[in-house]
A and B are shown apart, each in its own frame.
Chain A
């Protein structure tokens, strides 16, 4: 009797585990927009990019690079890019990253300055630490393109 119950329990556990795992797997097939939601959707991201712009303009280490840029276009394109990257329903239509930054000769100092400003802009908009880290993680592959390495 005791043995049967144990066997039944194990079977039940196995089935439940199978269902849960299966469920998780099927969930993963849907687009994962959790990060997008944590960033406050497109409007939340647009606020972060706006604050980022203010910080860039005030930052002596990098503002010279941005002289004469089209602010509205930069704001729209970067917002779309971060939106798409975080799993949101946007499509980036701006210029290609490597080509765009190629002639700027962006140094490690300047890249760090921009990363710092992005973090500060996210903090100002109360983006949770985990969401900040996840967004940066998704931006990392662009590092060699931006630095033209």
Chain B
């Protein structure tokens, strides 16, 4: 595993082949669920279904109320001084409960020198595992006048705590709790369908958990607001934007809110490709981190 993690690019390709292999298999094709195209969202960087940065109330895959479904996803964000690789997988039972796992690998690139000179640390990447569960409480994102409402947990575990510890993080694991509402408004923008999402998250995570949990400025749970909107150009193309408020627990470096502008292509239920411009603000003293996000998701 360590060897694979050290080679995120290789892993990305291996995963792509696996994903495409699944996509090409006719047996699997027949089993893709019944929910309407693109209503499973895509896989976020934390594994839960949503956009890129924000979990939405929809559950992953296309499983409807009598079906099972699953997703596999590979994502990569390349910002100025970091790159983040994410491998995620999810299962959905009856469009009621979603269970996800994700591994994040953050390549520290430029920060390696800061860490070596400032802290005497030799580390070039940070790894984190995220175990997620999301329950659809009530409603349907398409058919209910009040939309769909879900609640979820993301249990996050740092695999390399040396760096977060050195910069003042208190814990190497933490659990985010969130509550999410999503609704598609039909023919709302020039006859196009509009998707609106709002999420409230209770969290102690620094930079989503990659820099540990809690800190010297604040060590308790805080409630953060997150949102996403998208317009379906047609049933295969969704363009939109997301915003994610973040805590600021460490005096070592300021933490900023995140936002992105995305375009997703969902040619059919089996495949979703997402590209985005992401702005992650300042991360661990390195300023104004922005760049490109790419994600590939297969559903079965």
A contact residues vs B (CB 8 Å cutoff) = 61, 107-109, 111-113, 115-116, 119, 128-131, 133-134, 136-137, 140, 143
4 further A-B contacts with Cβ under 8 Å, apart from A134-B191, A136-B187, are A107-B65, A112-B64, A133-B193, A137-B187
Are A109 and B65 in contact, with the CB atoms below 8 A?
A: yes
CB-CB under 8 A from B140, the residues of chain A are 108
Contact assessment for B191 and A107 in the assembled complex, using a CB-CB cutoff below 8 Å: no
CB-based contact B65/A130 at 8 Å: no
- Which residue among A108, A128, A134, A143 has the maximum number of chain B CB atoms within 10 Å of its CB? A108
**Contact status A134-B34, CB under 8 Å:** no
Query: Looking at B142, B145, B187, B193, which has the most chain A CB atoms within 10 Å of its CB?
Result: B187
- A contact residues around B25 at 8 Å (CB): none
User: B63 to chain A: closest CB distance in Å?
Assistant: 9
Q: Are A131 and B191 in contact (CB-based, < 8 A)?
A: yes
* Given known A-B contacts A129-B192, A136-B186, A108 and B235 have beta carbons under 8 A apart: no
| Least distance between A25 CB and chain B CB atoms (Å) | 21
Given contacts A109-B34, A112-B34, contact A130 B187 (CB under 8 A): yes
Can you list 20 A-B pairs with a CB-CB distance of less than 8 A?
A107-B65, A107-B66, A109-B33, A109-B66, A109-B67, A112-B34, A112-B64, A113-B34, A115-B36, A115-B142, A119-B235, A128-B191, A129-B233, A129-B234, A131-B191, A133-B186, A133-B192, A134-B191, A136-B186, A137-B187
Q: Give chain A's interface secondary structure class.
A: helix
Query: Taking the complex as formed, is B35 at the interface, i.e. its CB lies under 8 A from any CB of chain A?
Result: yes
| Alpha-carbon distance A116/B235, docked complex (angstroms) | 11
Q: How far is the CB of B123 from chain A (nearest CB, A)?
A: 48
Q: Which of B34, B37, B145, B233 neighbours the largest number of chain A CB atoms within 10 Å of its CB? A: B34
Q: Name the A residues within 8 Å of B65 (CB-CB).
A: 107-109
B43 contacts partner chain A, Cβ-Cβ < 8 Å: no
**Min distance, Cβ B185 to any Cβ of chain A, angstroms:** 8
On whether the beta carbons of A112 and B190 are closer than 8 Å, the reply is no
Q: How far is the CB of A110 from chain B (nearest CB, A)?
A: 8
User: In this assembly, does B295 line the interface, its C-beta being within 8 Å of a C-beta of chain A?
Assistant: no
